[in-house]
């Protein structure tokens, strides 16, 4: 099977030749090329080279077109802080006072320099792999993007104490998210990862999620011209698994904080799972620990398809060793081949 065939079979809740491995490798590509993270993201050609090398080396079943989360706030006029060995971070929030939301404009995706780099990367990846390997585009959900736009404390105040400005911001963010997702699909992305950590019960109670993030996801996902995977970035999901399925998303990125067997039972026949290896612990895994973690997840959740094995936060940490990633890939070859070993 090609990677795409393997993934589509698993998402149909059937058993492919083996469990798909989804190592979401973004800034890790800088290590692969021996350049700084800032330089790596300066040219689509670097990201293309990094993605192709990593996909071949680690036998991952996807290409990850994600640059970094704050590229979206850059589209609104914000800035990014680059660090030596970690994810780029958003700088000073672009909204200092909720009243500024009144004058906030939806960025024009195809006229925004940084976003064009991502679109060019997707186009080049598509030319390289055609329909053999899924290309995953990424958007921040309209409900979670404001953590970078305002800062967490001001955003929580907005959610619970300023419904008028909250709704105005959601209207702007929803339009941007839809435009950004569809531009990536048009460029050649196979699917869109909809990062939505604020919707996790780890952050917001389910009753509040149902009135906010859930409604926003339903509206937004319905207008994205391709399949989506909702990722809660290591946040818990069990309590809202049925709700996630009802948003129209095909996959839920699930946390290592919850038992994969319980998650699989709750998701069965409704939504597929992506997870749930712990990326932080992965930084210090031995070969035996890597194999045991892979084996455990596959044996608990691999039967009948519906599982993509991956790290639970949505981005492999820079500090994970090349050896550990190879150990994970080899363990999938050993334990992930159908029919599964006991």
| Distance in angstroms (rounded) separating the CA atoms of residues 18 and 90 | 38
**With 90 as the cut, is the pLDDT of residue 253 above it?**
yes
Cβ-contact 310, 316 below 8 angstroms? no
Query: Can you give the pLDDT at residue 342?
Result: 76
Token look-up 């973690």 returns: 293
For the chain, give the mean pLDDT: 97
pLDDT digits (tens, 9 = 90+) for 119-175: 999 999 999 999 999 999 999 999 999 999 999 999 999 999 999 999 999 999 999
Answer yes or no: is 308 within a domain. Answer: yes
Which residues, 6 or more positions from 13, have their beta carbon under 8 angstroms from its beta carbon? Answer: 268, 269, 272, 304, 305, 306
Model confidence pLDDT, tens digit, residues 288-310: 999 999 999 999 999 999 999 99
Q: Looking at the 3D structure of the chain, how many domains does it have?
A: 1
Q: Is residue 286 part of a domain?
A: yes
Token pair 């330089």 in the structure block, residue: 39
Task: Tell me the pLDDT band of 341, cut-offs 50, 70 and 90.
Answer: confident
* Residue 91 pLDDT exceeds 80: yes
- pLDDT band (50, 70, 90) for residue 18: very high
Using one digit for the tens of pLDDT, what is the confidence trace for 168-220? 999 999 999 999 999 999 999 999 999 999 999 999 999 999 999 999 999 99
What is the average per-residue pLDDT within 245-262? Answer: 98
Count Cβ atoms within 10 A of the Cβ of residue 69 and give its class: 0-12 exposed, 13-18 middle, 19 or more buried: buried
C-alpha angle 327-130-183 in degrees, rounded to nearest 5? 100
Q: What is the CATH number of the domain that holds 245?
A: 3.20.20.210
- For the chain, what's the residue count? 342
342 in any annotated domain: no
**Residues in CB range of 319: below 8 A, 6 or more apart:** 85, 283
101 within domain boundaries: yes
Reported in sequence order, the residue ranges of the chain that DSSP labels E, i.e. its strands, are: 21-22, 63-64, 80-81, 89-90, 135-140, 191-195, 228-231, 251-253, 272-277, 307-311
Q: Rounded distance, CA 7 to CA 319, Å?
A: 27
pLDDT on residue 72: 98
Residue 341 lies in a domain: no
For residue 276, whether the previous peptide bond is cis, meaning omega lies within 30 degrees of 0, is yes
Report the DSSP pairing between strands 80-81 and 89-90: antiparallel
Establish if 340 belongs to a structural domain.
no
**Residue percentage of the chain with pLDDT more than 70:** 100
Taking residues 64-93, report their average pLDDT.
Answer: 97
Residue 121, in any domain of the structure: yes
Q: Which domain holds residue 46?
A: 3-335
Given a contact cutoff of 8 angstroms between Cβ atoms, the answer to whether 237 and 254 are in contact is yes
β-bridge partners, 276: 310
Residue 71 pLDDT > 80: yes
238 Cβ neighbours under 8 A, 6+ residues apart: 201, 258, 262, 263, 266
Q: Which of 225, 224, 203 is nearest to 213 (CA)?
A: 203
Give the integer Cα–Cα distance in Å for 260 and 304.
14
Tokens 């035996």 -> residue: 288
pLDDT at residue number 5: 98
């Amino acid at each position: 099977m090609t990677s795409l065939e393997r993934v589509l079979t698993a998402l149909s809740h059937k058993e492919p030749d083996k469990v798909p491995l989804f190592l979401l490798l973004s800034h890790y590509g800088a290590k692969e090329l021996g350049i700084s993270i800032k330089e790596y993201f300066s040219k689509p050609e670097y990201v293309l080279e990094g993605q192709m090398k990593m996909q071949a080396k680690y036998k991952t079943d996807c290409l990850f077109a994600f640059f970094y989360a704050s590229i979206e706030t850059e589209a609104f006029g914000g800035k990014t802080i680059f660090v030596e060995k970690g994810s780029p971070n958003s700088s000073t929030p672009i909204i200092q006072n909720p009243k500024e939301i009144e004058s906030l404009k939806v960025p024009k995706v195809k006229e925004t320099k940084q976003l064009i780099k991502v679109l060019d990367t997707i186009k080049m990846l598509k030319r390289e792999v055609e329909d053999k390997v899924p290309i995953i585009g990424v958007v921040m959900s309209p409900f979670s993007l404001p953590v970078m736009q305002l800062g967490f404390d001001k955003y929580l105040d907005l959610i619970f104490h300023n419904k008028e400005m909250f709704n105005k911001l959601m209207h702007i963010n929803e339009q941007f998210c839809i435009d950004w997702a569809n531009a990536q699909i048009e460029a050649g992305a196979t699917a869109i990862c909809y990062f939505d950590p604020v919707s996790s019960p780890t952050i917001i109670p389910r009753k509040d999620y149902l009135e906010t993030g859930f409604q926003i996801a339903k509206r937004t996902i319905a207008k994205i011209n391709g399949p989506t995977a909702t990722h809660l970035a290591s946040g818990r999901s069990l309590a809202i698994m049925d709700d996630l399925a009802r948003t129209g998303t095909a996959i839920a990125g699930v946390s290592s904080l919850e038992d994969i067997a319980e998650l699989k039972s709750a998701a069965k026949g409704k939504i597929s799972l992506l997870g749930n290896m712990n990326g932080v612990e992965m930084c210090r895994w031995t070969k035996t620990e890597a194999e045991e973690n892979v084996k455990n997840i596959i044996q608990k959740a691999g039967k009948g398809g519906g599982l993509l094995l991956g790290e639970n936060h949505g981005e492999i940490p820079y500090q994970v060793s090349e050896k550990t990633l190879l150990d994970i890939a080899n363990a999938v070859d050993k334990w992930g081949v159908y029919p599964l070993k006991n």
